[in-house]
């Protein structure tokens, strides 16, 4: 096997401070006292950039290994490498984070509108710009009594100050400090973070007001107190990175705290089955939705999260009729702590198309008001958020972007448990590298920045409230898309 990367050290800049050595959990760098210099072994380097970022003299860079197998358009270097790996191990290949393959990114083929002459852009510095968003069933029932007093039905809802939430990442797949960062950021931002399927650490019950408690097929850490703790409950039916596949947290990551939080013995593997074994049909889902509502006194909205698969519109329609208040759809580019590589890279559909068809379908059926639609996997910027909302989403879920804000450099080796940024690891010395004080502030900064950008874009469109953007597909135009793609997206081509 060849190293994937080369470690390039500029000896004129290196002062041998050894911070690279101290900070690399993969033990790439080493100080050699005999040579009085830093040496490196690139074999274990994952290009996480921790050393590069911390090097005080910018003496380091990590590059792809220039060593190449003989060029072959069909048998790429990576394909061959994977063959060797499997021939070595006989195992399923595992990967982390989202689908890295070169499938079309529809966000990048959609352009936004702005006002000119006939209607004025609105200056967000001068006028109120509103991004508050409600998620949940929107009952239109209203009556007035003889005194003119309105009587209306109130259904459980989530109230977001920004149309962005942090999507599910379990305690176990990410560290306690990462969770704390998310929880505190959600609280400060007036939005929500999601526990993922790993339960809720006892220290974080205090952030319950801004917590979505997930119930997944493994039911880890689920009990009455957990359901009561959050603002909403999410039933995870699927995940964009690995539709149709369960989860597996290796026993070595199940330390005392995770064991307690997940309510499983220390050191045992935490296996989430592919299906919920009590949900083999839409009726079963309905039962679970109502059971959870009953368990929480009908006070909390229930989210059903599904992966974007081929017939997502029909599935969403079924979910909408199952009593769920919110549907979360996760696109095939969504992240994961670990997934079988073949699944991650080949299963599911783009979130843009899934969203467009779900929104259209729910409107056609006249039930769009019965559910809110949240999309994730992957929204990378404020522009993606604006496009998602204009296509019809009520809000978006972000996770990979949030991890990047926390320091992740997408080295995609979460599954090793040696995250040098203290995010996807449970090793105490690594976990402490993510100071939630910094982490939460960076998340707040990120979402605040996006919120500013969303407002700026809205203002340009002459819109000063996010609800006027929702489903406003006239604000979108496609470029370089086929008529079929335009039809599915429900938008016109640029120039039309």
Partner 1 sequence: MLQREGATRIPSGCAISGFINRSGRRTNGSVIVNSIACMHERSNGLGGGYAGYGIYPEYKDQYALHVFYDSSEARIKAEAFLDRHFDVVNLSRIPVRKNPRITDEPLIWRYFVNPLPTKLQDSQLDERTFVAKCVIRINDQIDGAYVFSSGKNMGVFKAVGYPEDVGDFYRLEEYDGWAWTVHGRYPTNTPGWWGGAHPFSLLDYTIVHNGEISSYDANRRFIEMFGYKCNLLTDTEVITYIIDYLHRRLEMPLEDVAKVIASPFWSELESGKFSPEDTEKYRHFRNVFSSLLVTGPFSIILGFNNGLMALNDRLKLRSMVAAEKGDTVYMSSEECSIRTMCPDVDKIWSPRGGEPIIVTLDKDAGDTRSPRFTQSGAGRVATEVNHGERV
Partner 2 sequence: MKKVYVNEDWCLACHLCEYYCAAANSGAPNMIKAFKSGKKPVPRIQVEEGSEVNFAVQCRFCDGKACVKGCIAGALSITPEGVVVCDENKCVGCYTCVLSCPFGCIVIDEEGHRIQKCDLCTKNHDGDPACVQGCPNKAIVFEER
Q: Using CB under 8 A, list all residues that contact partner 2.
A: 12-13, 15-19, 22-23, 53-54, 56-57, 428-429, 432-433, 435, 437-438
Q: Which of 270, 313, 396, 461 is in the footprint of partner 1 by CB under 8 A?
A: 461
Structure tokens at 80: 């061959």
Contact status, residue 266 vs residue 255, Cβ threshold 8 Å: yes
Closest to partner 2 by CB, 13 vs 101, is: 13
For residue 354, give the nearest of 393, 400, 394, 301 by alpha carbon: 393
Q: Which does 13 bind (CB under 5 to 8 A by kind): partner 1, partner 2, none?
A: partner 2
Q: Does 142 bind partner 1 (CB under 8 A)?
A: yes
- Distance between CA 252 and CA 160 in Å, rounded? 37
- Distance between CA 466 and CA 454 in Å, rounded? 9
Closest to partner 2 by CB, 48 vs 216, is: 48
Structure tokens at 347: 């299963």
Contact status, residue 220 vs residue 196, Cβ threshold 8 Å: no
For residue 46, give the nearest of 338, 341, 337, 416 by alpha carbon: 416
40: burial class by Cβ within 10 Å (0-12, 13-18, 19+)? buried
Q: Which does 18 bind (CB under 5 to 8 A by kind): partner 1, partner 2, none?
A: partner 2
Q: Pick the piece of the chain touching partner 1 (CB under 8 A) from 80-88, 150-158, 378-386, 410-418.
A: 150-158
Q: Does 208 bind partner 1 (CB under 8 A)?
A: no
Q: Does 128 bind partner 1 (CB under 8 A)?
A: yes
Smallest distance, partner 1 to C-beta of residue 381, A: 22
Q: Which does 293 bind (CB under 5 to 8 A by kind): partner 2, partner 1, none?
A: none
Structure tokens at 429: 């010395």
Closest to partner 1 by CB, 90 vs 366, is: 366
Q: Pick the piece of the chain touching partner 1 (CB under 8 A) from 60-68, 300-308, 363-371, 414-422.
A: 363-371
Q: Does 487 bind partner 1 (CB under 8 A)?
A: no
Total residues contacting partner 1 (rule CB under 8 A)?
42
Evaluate the omega torsion of the peptide bond into residue 363 and state whether it is cis, within 30 degrees of 0.
Answer: no
Q: Which of 104, 120, 244, 267 is in the footprint of partner 1 by CB under 8 A?
A: 120
User: Tokens 């060849």, residue?
Assistant: 2
User: Tokens 């339960």, residue?
Assistant: 199
* Strand 37-40 with 150-152, pairing: unpaired
For residue 355, give the nearest of 338, 332, 335, 331 by alpha carbon: 331
Q: Which residues bind partner 1 (CB under 8 A)?
A: 115, 118-120, 122, 127-128, 130, 132, 134, 136, 138-140, 142-144, 148-150, 152, 154, 157, 363, 366, 368-369, 392, 461-465, 467-475
């Amino acid at each position: 096997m060849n190293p994937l990367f080369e470690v390039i050290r500029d000896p004129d800049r290196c002062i041998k401070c050894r911070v690279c050595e101290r900070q690399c959990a993969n033990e790439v760098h080493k100080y050699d006292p005999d040579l009085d210099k830093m040496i490196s072994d690139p074999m274990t380097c994952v290009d996480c950039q921790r050393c590069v970022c911390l090097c005080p003299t910018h003496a380091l860079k990590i590059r792809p290994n220039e060593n190449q197998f003989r060029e072959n358009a069909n048998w790429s270097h990576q394909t061959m490498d994977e063959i060797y790996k499997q021939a070595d191990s006989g195992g399923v290949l595992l990967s982390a984070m989202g689908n890295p393959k070169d499938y079309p990114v529809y966000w990048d083929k959609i352009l936004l509108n702005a006002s000119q002459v006939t209607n004025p852009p609105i200056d967000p510095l001068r006028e109120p710009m509103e991004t508050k968003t409600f998620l949940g069933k929107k009952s239109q029932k209203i009556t007035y009594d003889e005194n003119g007093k309105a009587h209306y039905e109130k259904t459980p809802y989530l109230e977001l100050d920004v149309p962005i939430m942090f999507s599910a990442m379990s305690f176990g797949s990410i560290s306690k400090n990462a969770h704390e960062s998310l929880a505190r950021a959600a609280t400060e931002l007036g939005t929500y973070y999601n526990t993922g399927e790993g339960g809720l650490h006892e220290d974080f019950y205090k952030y319950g007001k801004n917590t979505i408690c997930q119930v997944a097929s493994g039911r880890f850490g689920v009990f009455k107190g957990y359901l009561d703790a959050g603002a909403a409950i999410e039933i995870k039916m699927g995940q964009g990175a690995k539709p149709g596949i369960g989860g597996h947290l290796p026993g070595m990551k199940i330390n005392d705290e995770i064991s307690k939080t997940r309510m499983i013995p220390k050191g045992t593997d935490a296996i989430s089955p592919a299906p919920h074994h009590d949900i083999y049909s839409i009726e079963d889902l309905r039962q679970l939705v109502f059971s959870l509502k009953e368990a929480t006194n009908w006070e909390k909205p229930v989210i059903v999260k599904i992966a974007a698969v081929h017939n997502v519109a029909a599935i969403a329609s079924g979910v909408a009729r199952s009593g769920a208040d919110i549907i979360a759809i996760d696109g095939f580019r969504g992240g994961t702590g670990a997934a079988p590589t073949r699944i991650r890279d080949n299963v599911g559909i783009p979130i843009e198309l899934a969203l467009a068809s779900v929104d259209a379908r729910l409107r056609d059926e006249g039930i769009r008001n019965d559910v809110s639609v949240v999309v994730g996997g992957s929204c990378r910027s404020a522009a993606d958020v604006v496009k998602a909302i204009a296509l019809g989403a009520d809000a978006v879920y972000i996770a990979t972007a949030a991890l990047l804000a926390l320091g992740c450099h997408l080295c995609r080796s979460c599954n090793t448990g040696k995250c040098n940024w203290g995010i996807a690891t449970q090793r105490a010395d690594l976990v402490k590298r993510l100071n939630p004080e910094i982490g939460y502030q960076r998340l707040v900064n990120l979402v605040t920045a996006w919120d500013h950008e969303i407002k700026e874009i809205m203002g340009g469109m002459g819109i000063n409230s996010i609800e006027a953007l929702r489903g406003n597909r006239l604000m979108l135009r496609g470029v370089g898309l086929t008529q079929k793609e335009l039809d599915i997206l429900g938008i016109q081509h640029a120039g039309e």
